[in-house]
Amino acid sequence: MSDIDHFIINDKPGLFVTGTDTEVGKTFVASSIVRRLTASGVKTGVIKPIATGCERRGERLISSDASELIEALGRDVDHACVAPIVFERPLAPVTAARLEGRELTFESIVERTRESFDYWIAESVDMMIIEGIGGLLCPIARGKTVADLAIAIDYPLIVTASRGLGTLNRTLLTVEAALRRGLRVAGIVLNSVDPHADRVCERENGIELAEMLPGIAILAEIPRVDDRTDVPSPICAVDWYDRARRSRVSTFESRVDLPERPPTDEAVENHGV
């Protein structure tokens, strides 16, 4: 297999939503972005390349994360086109595959993800939102992590972090790991996931990160949200289409440039950049 075969080359701009850890609200953030884009007239495609902890329904495994992304689209989509690789055990993919006696190679992950891209390209979407699993260095295959898949897709990262204690360390480590691998970081979203988190800590973490990462925008700081279908106002304030980019691996010289914005009746204002 050639080096180029490890990349998922397509002509759609997009964003890759990753996290500093599991349970930081990646799916909520990704779904909120999708809802916002859809409401703004941007036809969006979504992929959760690997999902674990899925619910068995008859002979099928259903990812609640993928289901939430599909719901955010507001239209019916085949679950397998959004979540092409699913496991029942709530473990890192490499571990879930081993315990379930399934072979999971990085090549197969890339190929299945590419097939999902083909579906969305055929649907003529304007933009893609990809959601990772766990944190950026979560193992997904032997010797490979989510970061390797992010490199293969080569979309800018939206780093999702909790707003509570420990956020500074985990976010700085994630951003450092991303930049060392040549990944682009479109920005950071701080999400309130712990109802008992220290309010002072939540308030100050964004300020500290902005100072420590001067070249990276704190795009949104989301308060605690009970209704997951409600798009928080900080998400609405960001021009997500403007943050998206195409893969840099392409035979098209113009690939790094965004196509003309899809028509919309609504003006979207940038926030935190």
Q: Does the residue 266 lie in any domain? A: no
Q: Count Cα neighbours of 202 within 13 Å in the Cβ-side half-sphere.
A: 18
Q: Does the residue 86 lie in any domain? A: yes
**164 residue type, one letter:** G
> What values do phi and psi take at 78, rounded to 5?
-60, 125
Catalytic position from the list 12, 26, 48, 144: 48
Q: What is the CATH number of the domain that holds 42?
A: 3.40.50.300
Strand partners, 185: 157
* pLDDT tens sequence across 71-88: 999 999 999 999 999 999
Q: Does the residue 238 lie in any domain? A: yes
Q: Does the pLDDT value for residue 269 go beyond 90?
A: no
Q: Pairing state of beta strands 44-47 and 218-222? A: unpaired
Over pLDDT 90: what percentage of the chain?
77
Please provide the average confidence, as pLDDT, over all residues in the chain. Answer: 89
Q: Does the residue 260 lie in any domain? A: no
In this prediction, residues 217-246 reach a mean pLDDT of 91
* pLDDT tens sequence across 169-185: 999 999 999 999 999 99
Q: For this structure, is 144 an active site residue?
A: no
Please report which residue ranges of 47-198 form alpha helices under DSSP H. 64-73, 79-82, 93-99, 106-122, 146-153, 167-180
Q: How many folded domains does the chain comprise?
A: 1
> What values do phi and psi take at 111, rounded to 5?
-65, -45
Q: Does the residue 69 lie in any domain? A: yes
Three-state DSSP state, 149: helix
Residue 87 in contact with residue 98, Cβ under 8 Å? no
Q: Does the pLDDT value for residue 48 go beyond 90?
A: yes
Distance CA 109, CA 60 (A): 19
Whose structure tokens read 């935190």?
272
For residue 246, give its domain range. 9-253
Q: Does the residue 41 lie in any domain? A: yes
Q: Does the residue 35 lie in any domain? A: yes
